[in-house]
A and B are shown apart, each in its own frame.
Chain A
């Protein structure tokens, strides 16, 4: 009898100790087309977990909760995402969710998180459309597609108040088209004349015809592009054709390190980026960009890209919301997220509370990078926003 009471007491204490964890569920694309980026993102999330657990866990009230991650391989497939998120919620009974990588998979996960009323922090997802469906439980970390190029236009106007004509030439893919369409209305509202607005087939290798059109249009600046292959070829041929543009900003391609292979053709080309290691944000809480970079380099042996930063940011934002709410209750955490308005190492975080776009990221801005020559070598410098820059914008570039 005494033994039974003792065992029960031990079990009670043990379970009391075990109850001191928060479980966060997510899926990772360990296989499939999103493999590289998704694992990158997971590395950032795991780094955050390690960092917060080293401090004893997330403080909630006067207790500290260690973070446990529960994740499965979604194989980069939408059906797997749906199955696995349902499982995470109903069987594994996770407390909170983080999204998979990519807008496509996140859209599927959001359906599930909304069904069960579980808070999900969406990172690695830039689509606007997920947030136009009236969901209440999904919160976006990345700058949405609609604002990918808007900061670029702000930067252009700040550099040249007399700029009038802009060309928007984009890859005819869903993502690039969405970015370009949003950029067009933003540019027109800013008083610019969009002299050329045209899409090119994704497999284009000869940009000659469209470059001729750009020249004929009299455009002073060009924004657009799509993904790496076409963006790099476009930039190279723009240079070869001696296109008289004062500014060229392309999606994705110039933000990658391999862009330097273009040599002189890369000089002056700008791109929007969710985050860069050298960015100079002053955070209100959490780590500084420099601390994140050195932690990451120590843990993984290389400089983090923005996907890893997005992962860490997701964990950090969730942590802050829980701390602000002082509770693990989903409704209270949602309220804390709705009220959030701060700067972390990743940038500003502020979510939309308008029911038509609830959860859309309003505060975070794309940083703009530009390729410049430093000590004879091509490097990526951050030129916007002005508060986070590492170098001045070169304008005009040619």
Chain B
């Protein structure tokens, strides 16, 4: 009995991180109708950024701030170079473009770091809370995910810039008519989405070993979580991530671990059958 509770709680914690990663993906889709195929490679980049900052002597949790800033800057750069010119074209163009960015990141990453696994050796305490054993790394990562999510909500709903982002997301032409510089907003949104992806990568790196290819599975889960919650809806993405984590946690004790992903995706298909627009509805 305790093991199931333990498993579900572990799932919840990791689900919060899936949620954070998914918000990054869904935000970009919501604002500019772009499916960002560079999402996974950027997550992996976040893992390596943390490794480098940690290697330079920075406290791994303080290093999350420069990772976030680096992610934002990198996102803006990707937008300006790979997305801006083709944003009004067929969606296949942006798909290919972001995929190309992903290939470039992975290629350079492999050249720099090869495909061997790396570790960020954080001193993690093992805590025992009412019989539930959890590492401090996992708890702090989940907490960080929650904090950043709140910060994002504050930004989107309590600041003018955030309002502008939501306006462009709702209707770009109308926003432009209102005097909102849409190109700048798009760049900022892409930057935020990338920053969130890199941050989630860094948080994952505090818990598990990684390679430049590790982003792939998290990209997949981000897609699933985003669609589960309704593509374009940040709240939906967060809940989608949490639900995914909970599903993983609840089925794991009963089946072979290799089957967890299979069950996850089968449930995903089933949910979509009944809720084609996601559990919380997508962007209108």
Contacts and interface: CB of A to CB of B under 8 A. Distances in A.
Given A198-B256, A205-B209, 9 more contacts: A205-B117, A209-B253, A212-B3, A212-B7, A212-B252, A213-B253, A241-B133, A241-B135, A242-B128
A354 to B, nearest CB: 36
A215 interface: yes
Interface string B4-27: 001100100010000000000000
A-B pairs with lowest CB-CB distance, top 5: A209-B252, A205-B208, A216-B3, A229-B117, A240-B135
A72 interface: no
Q: Which of A199, A204, A213, A261 neighbours the largest number of chain B CB atoms within 10 Å of its CB? A: A213
B253 A212 contact: yes
Contacts of B14: 206
A201 B214 contact: no
Contacts of B7: 208-209, 212
Contacts, number: 58
A233 interface: yes
A209 B208 contact: no
B124 interface: yes
A212 B255 CA distance: 12
Interface in B242-284: 248, 252-253, 256-258, 260
Nearest to A239: B126
Contacts of A261: 121
Interface residues of B, number: 25
A240 B126 contact: yes
10 contacts: A198-B256, A199-B256, A199-B258, A200-B257, A209-B257, A209-B260, A210-B257, A213-B3, A242-B126, A242-B133
Contacts of B72: none
A200 B116 CA distance: 19
A212 B249 CA distance: 10
A212 B256 CA distance: 12
B210 interface: yes
B265 to A, nearest CB: 15
Given A212-B3, A229-B117, A240-B126, A205 B253 contact: no
A365 B210 CA distance: 35
Interface of A: 172, 198-201, 204-206, 208-210, 212-213, 215-216, 229, 233, 240-242, 261
A241 B126 contact: yes
B209 A233 contact: yes
A200 B258 contact: yes
Interface string B129-172: 00001010000000000000000000000000000000000000
A215 B258 contact: no
Nearest to B136: A240
Contacts of B248: 209
Interface string B114-129: 0011000100101010
Contacts of A240: 124, 126, 135
Nearest to A206: B208
A103 to B, nearest CB: 23
Contact of B258 (A172, A241, A242): A172
A187 to B, nearest CB: 20
Given A198-B256, A241-B126, A208 B3 contact: no
B257 to A, nearest CB: 5
A198 B210 contact: no
Interface string B188-226: 000000000000000000011110001000000000000
A213 B209 CA distance: 21
Contact of B210 (A205, A209, A242): A205
Contacts of B210: 205
Given A172-B258, A229-B117, A233-B208, A216 B253 contact: yes
A328 B257 CA distance: 55
